[in-house]
Structure 1
């Protein structure tokens, strides 16, 4: 069995469309023309990590699997800098006040991630840790 690559180049474009909300006009940014390869105006490498396997499985199990693109500061024109298939990573970017654009994950990328998970195994289920009697409680000490 040949090794599964953990990185793929994806190309795409970023387009803005005007959006008017209660008299205010803003721009809604989105990803278009996402495809494997380096043919588009923007190219990023989607890198898969062993530590994110549970997040990939969760994403693939959703009704519409997504890819997430970190695109600079939230108030600026998007400048794509990273791409991930993990909602956990995307949430971290949002917490850092980065702009995150979402796009439907192409079937070819879904199949590639499935093959990655099949090759490397599913992430182990994280069970709840058992509390030991007295753990986290102050104890009196006889002196």
Structure 2
């Protein structure tokens, strides 16, 4: 059985969107185009990880699967430097004050991730661990 590649280059184009909210002008950024391939203004590589399989499955089962693009720090000019299909990874980026742009996941990428999950298996179900009787309690040491 041939191992399925876990990397895909993606071309991303973002555009500014100016909004006026309560009289104040605010600039936000949105993904204008995202397509498989290494041609375009910004190219990043989507890398699938075995440890994120549960997050990929969760994303694929959503009504509208998304890709998340890290575009520099939230207070600076956007600079695309990473992409993920894991909402957990995207949340960690946001906790680190990075700008994260979400966009619709192309069908070709959805099919590729599905094939990756089939080839590598679903993530193991995290169940509650049974405690041993008396575990976690202080014990008296009697000689």
Matches within 5 A, 1:12-23: 12-23=12-23
Hey, what does 1:76 align to over in structure 2? 76
Tell me, what secondary structure is at the counterpart of 1:34? strand
TM-score by length of 2: 0.93
CA RMSD between the two structures: 1.4
Hey, what does 2:111 align to over in structure 1? 111
Hey, what does 2:136 align to over in structure 1? 136
Q: Structure 2: any 5+ residue segments left out of the alignment?
A: none
Hey, what does 2:66 align to over in structure 1? 66
Q: Distance in 1 between matches of 2:120 and 2:110?
A: 15
TM-superposition CA deviations, 1:82-122 (whole Å, max 9, x none) = 10000011111111111111111000000000011111111
Number of residue pairs aligned between Structure 1 and Structure 2? 143
Q: Offset of 1:136 from its aligned partner?
A: 2.5
Q: Distance in 2 between matches of 1:49 and 1:115?
A: 13
Hey, what does 2:49 align to over in structure 1? 49
Q: Structure 1: any 5+ residue segments left out of the alignment?
A: none
